[in-house]
Amino acid sequence: MDLSSAARLTIRDATCRGVRVPLTFALGTSAAIVRQVPLLLVDLTTEEGVVGRAYLFAYTDAGARSIADLIGEAVAGVRGQPCAPAVLAPLLGRRWRLLGVAGPVRMALSILDIAMWDAVAVAAGRPLATLLGAGRGAIPAYDSRGLGLMEAARLADEAERLCASGLGAVKLRLGYPTLAEDLAALAAVRSRLPPGMPVMVDYNQALTVAEALERGRALDQAGVAWLEEPIRHDDYRGAARLAAALAVPVQIGENFNGPAALSDALAAGACDHVMPDVARIGGVTGWMQAAGIAAAAGIEMSSHLMPELSVHLLAASPTAHWLEYVDWADAVLEQPLEIRDGAARVPDRPGLGIAWSAEKLRRLATI
């Protein structure tokens, strides 16, 4: 991993812009119906003129504003220092320890880490994946843009529309009042998919352990690809009961707070697969640490949202599994992520390969 370009970059400042992006498919989950999402766009400037870019899904408008404030404070603390993310990550973590490196703080430090890595890779003239030692140029992706909680007929129609993306799998949100409704939703979706197409199911933490055991056993017979976050995300003991009792693989990880949380989950036997979120696992630095832990345990690793960033990291992860694809950033990017032959292609442009479209940004509401 060549990081010599970091020595030539000096952190100057960062600017943040929050925008609201309307979704192509309204997304009903067990928690809420989502029709638009707040994205926070970050530009890290250096004294040498190189700009590092990154973005994150901020969950709420208030989340975007608070994360932006935290990024500003973090940059003030490292202004004038070399842009060396692996060195600065533990330093920033120590500075925020009393407040707690979790939630918005973790996300602010993660997105700053990503922007620093982008700047380093841009200065080196290499895609980030290449800089990280990637061994592959494309990652199988599943379509996660739709199939929220809705009536079966609408689910079937939406499944047919999603097939046009050319991706090799889809995610279905479950968590209806009854198991029968969950199974009916799955049947409706499969009625419009090509035979054998994998379907991942996600409960968004909606169930108790007892409910998850009942529904998981039924889904064992249905042959779904994985059972995602059926119970509270940090109940590793309960998740371990599910992983031991069910044939369907248990998938967790989008709420892992840093690599240590992934390590704790694996030690507890809480899952069969992991899917960290790059903005919660610690950015590029935290992801690569987590990827090493997953590889040592032989656990397959997928991503959560932000596919334009995650595709680079999965390409460099030894146990890379699936990339979660959403098109949310298409509304702000000059060149959206390329999807071809059921996979997301790693851009051959320097860094993350992302740039903001001024024309597109003018059409979006700001936060």
Q: Is residue 11 within 8 Å of 78, Cβ to Cβ?
A: yes
CATH code at position 25: 3.30.390.10
Residue 33: pLDDT band (50, 70, 90) is confident
| The pLDDT of residue 4 | 55
What confidence tens digit (pLDDT) does each residue in 74-132 have? 999 999 999 999 999 999 999 999 999 999 999 999 999 999 999 999 999 999 999 99
What confidence tens digit (pLDDT) does each residue in 153-163 have? 999 999 999 99
Identify whether residues 220 and 306 lie together within a single domain: yes
Helix/strand/coil for 355: coil
What confidence tens digit (pLDDT) does each residue in 44-62 have? 999 999 999 999 999 999 9
Number of Cβ within a 10 Å radius of residue 116: 30
Residue 30: pLDDT band (50, 70, 90) is low
Identify whether residues 171 and 220 lie together within a single domain: yes
Count of the separate structural domains present in the chain:
2
Average pLDDT value for residue range 351-361: 98
Q: Is residue 101 within 8 Å of 109, Cβ to Cβ?
A: yes
Domain of residue 155, residue span: 130-354
What confidence tens digit (pLDDT) does each residue in 261-318 have? 999 999 999 999 999 999 999 999 999 999 999 999 999 999 999 999 999 999 999 9
Task: List beta partners, residue 138.
Answer: 345
Q: CA nearest 216: which of 259, 246, 244, 171?
A: 246
| The pLDDT of residue 200 | 98
For 50, 224, 244, 285, 311, the CA distances from 307, given in Å and listed in that order, are 23, 23, 31, 17, 6
| The pLDDT of residue 167 | 95
Residue 359 located in a structural domain: no
Does 5 score more than 80 pLDDT?
no
Identify whether residues 86 and 160 lie together within a single domain: no
Does 3 score more than 80 pLDDT?
no
Does 14 score more than 60 pLDDT?
yes
Identify whether residues 249 and 144 lie together within a single domain: yes
| The pLDDT of residue 148 | 93
Mean pLDDT of the chain: 95
Q: How far apart are CA 141 and CA 311, in angstroms?
A: 9
| The pLDDT of residue 169 | 97
Identify whether residues 304 and 262 lie together within a single domain: yes
Q: Which of 24-33, 282-291, 328-337 has the lowest mean pLDDT?
A: 24-33
Identify whether residues 134 and 120 lie together within a single domain: no
Average pLDDT value for residue range 161-186: 95
Q: How far apart are CA 168 and CA 155, in angstroms?
A: 18
| The pLDDT of residue 165 | 86
Does 164 score more than 90 pLDDT?
no
Does 40 score more than 80 pLDDT?
yes
Q: How far apart are CA 328 and CA 145, in angstroms?
A: 9
Q: How far apart are CA 153 and CA 367, in angstroms?
A: 35
Identify whether residues 37 and 106 lie together within a single domain: yes
Half-sphere exposure of 113 (CA within 13 A, CB side): 28
Q: Is residue 120 within 8 Å of 52, Cβ to Cβ?
A: yes
Identify whether residues 13 and 52 lie together within a single domain: yes
Residue 31: pLDDT band (50, 70, 90) is low
Residue 364 located in a structural domain: no
Does 7 score more than 70 pLDDT?
no
Residue 355: pLDDT band (50, 70, 90) is very high
Percentage of the residues of the chain whose pLDDT score is greater than 70: 97
CA gyration radius for the chain?
Answer: 20
Does 247 score more than 60 pLDDT?
yes
Identify whether residues 163 and 209 lie together within a single domain: yes
Q: CA nearest 171: which of 184, 181, 162?
A: 162
| The pLDDT of residue 301 | 98
Domain C-terminal end among 125, 158, 190: 125
For the stretch 209-212, contacts whose Cβ atoms lie closer than 8 Å and that sit 24 or more positions apart, written own/partner, are 209/235, 209/238, 209/241, 209/242, 212/238, 212/242
pTM (predicted TM-score): 0.95
